[in-house]
Chains A and B, each alone.
Chain A
């Protein structure tokens, strides 16, 4: 699955759809593929303040555990209850219905473009 051009990416395999001060965050198709079938998602609470680079959630597959790193400083404004109830959305639609959290961004670090991220993963 190719990485959408309109998204920004982190080296920790998150994607962000930045719209003004807000961003939708998920993990990339590459990360979902490496994890295998996702069976449990643990997300931060709405209202939690998060700091870029810190672990704010967990994504468990049958075989392993992946950590969700905050991609920016900010405050969590929404979590995707659908993905908590149906974690397989992370595999089936990682850039769409498998989104994880929405944040109000207070400080956005430098992020990767789709081409840079694609080069990073070598796929």
Chain B
């Protein structure tokens, strides 16, 4: 057991009265006051999250793109400068080591963002796979902080943050302003002279941004964002609402919906595996095989009433156990229980009715479609 790790923003969280939870060895805010209020703030206004526990791995070199095409499931060499892509790191057996977002930051420079709990698994896999390529894999997690600003007013907050401005090189990008920046694209920025990467990405189902900055400057940036957000009703948000927000948006969480036992196609992520790209990649031959006919598949479940199906609860049809819940909550936005579960494919069709064993009581749930919640586009 190693010592707990602390975000560079830890003292700020303590000052804000946060409750903390262990997350992958990190002491991170689980909530500041009310996780429901934080959830609603992101849906209705704007919230800010410290996600500095995420792992950042830099990949550089003349063959960095070819290396990533071999190492992960997507075609990273095809990304344009400033573009991001959601992808998967697979085993040879085609199961999931981690889900990643990869950003192209230069002609020979990509940034791989991995889950905190998979920092070393991802790093080890990338370092093992880089052999023979002219590329370098460097862990930058300790030096990099990450702040997410999420919600309908996120753009307004960033635009009014004192000291934060786009870099001169932003003018050369396909989208040159934050307002024009498309989902899964980035712009280079500076905060009080220090580089910031601003990405229009997130894990909430709302519009928003994720900002990467040197750990040493993170507290000043957090404070500036909070000040800019005051007029917009910004609240600091913990991991509790981050989880209910991502669940409503139907986004998988590693360790729940994605594991070393799961192939992407089971999780509805078959298209993330770019079988059409040229050349071999780790997990390719396994991914080309069809799933076994009885392989469990991920479904969305919705229930009546207020009782949540939670992770590890068993799913039944009659007396037959046909699956297991991987995530679940009483949806704060929708007001009814929502869950993700792996079930036998014969019960995966939309409209199928199953029972979840909620601590000894069978509660009916209906197979629905993802996402549970979709924001209204303006």
User: Which residues of A line the B interface, CB within 8 A?
Assistant: 33, 36-37, 39-40, 42, 58, 60-63, 65, 88, 91
Contact = CB atoms under 8 A, between A and B. Distances in A.
B35 A36 contact: yes
Contacts of B60: none
Given A33-B19, A36-B31, A37-B36, A63 B240 contact: yes
Given A36-B30, A62-B241, A62-B329, 15 more contacts: A36-B31, A36-B35, A36-B240, A37-B34, A37-B35, A37-B37, A39-B36, A39-B332, A40-B306, A40-B308, A58-B359, A60-B308, A62-B35, A62-B36, A63-B30
A116 to B, nearest CB: 24
Contact of B359 (A37, A65, A88): A65
Contacts of A37: 34-37
B339 interface: no
A53 to B, nearest CB: 18
Interface in B1-51: 19, 30-31, 34-37, 39
A41 to B, nearest CB: 9
Contacts of B243: 63
Contact of A91 (B34, B310, B329): B34
B309 to A, nearest CB: 11
14 contacts: A36-B30, A36-B31, A36-B240, A37-B37, A39-B332, A40-B306, A61-B35, A62-B39, A62-B332, A63-B243, A63-B329, A65-B310, A88-B36, A91-B34
A-B pairs with lowest CB-CB distance, top 3: A37-B36, A40-B306, A39-B330
Contacts of A33: 19
Interface string B296-326: 0000000000111010000000000000000
Contacts of B39: 62
A33 B19 CA distance: 9
Contact of B35 (A42, A60, A63): A63
Interface of B: 19, 30-31, 34-37, 39, 240-241, 243-244, 306-308, 310, 329-330, 332, 359
A65 B330 CA distance: 12
Contact of B307 (A36, A40, A61, A91): A40
A80 to B, nearest CB: 16
A33 B243 CA distance: 18
A40 B332 CA distance: 12
B330 A40 contact: yes
B38 to A, nearest CB: 9
Nearest to B37: A37
Q: Which of B19, B37, B308 has the most CB of A within 10 A?
A: B308
A41 B37 CA distance: 19
Contacts of B36: 37, 39, 62, 88
Nearest to A64: B310
B307 A62 contact: no
A39 B305 CA distance: 11
Given A39-B306, A40-B306, A62 B244 contact: yes
A96 B94 CA distance: 55
A119 B87 CA distance: 50
Nearest to A42: B307
A88 B19 CA distance: 18
B19 A60 contact: no
Contacts of B359: 58, 65
Contacts of A63: 30, 35, 240, 243, 329
Of the listed residues A42, A58, A60, the one surrounded by the most CB atoms of chain B closer than 10 A to its CB is: A60
A91 B35 CA distance: 12
Contacts of B240: 36, 62-63
Contacts of B34: 36-37, 91
Nearest to A33: B19
A112 to B, nearest CB: 24
Contacts of B35: 36-37, 61-63
A58 B307 CA distance: 10
Contacts of B330: 39-40, 60, 62
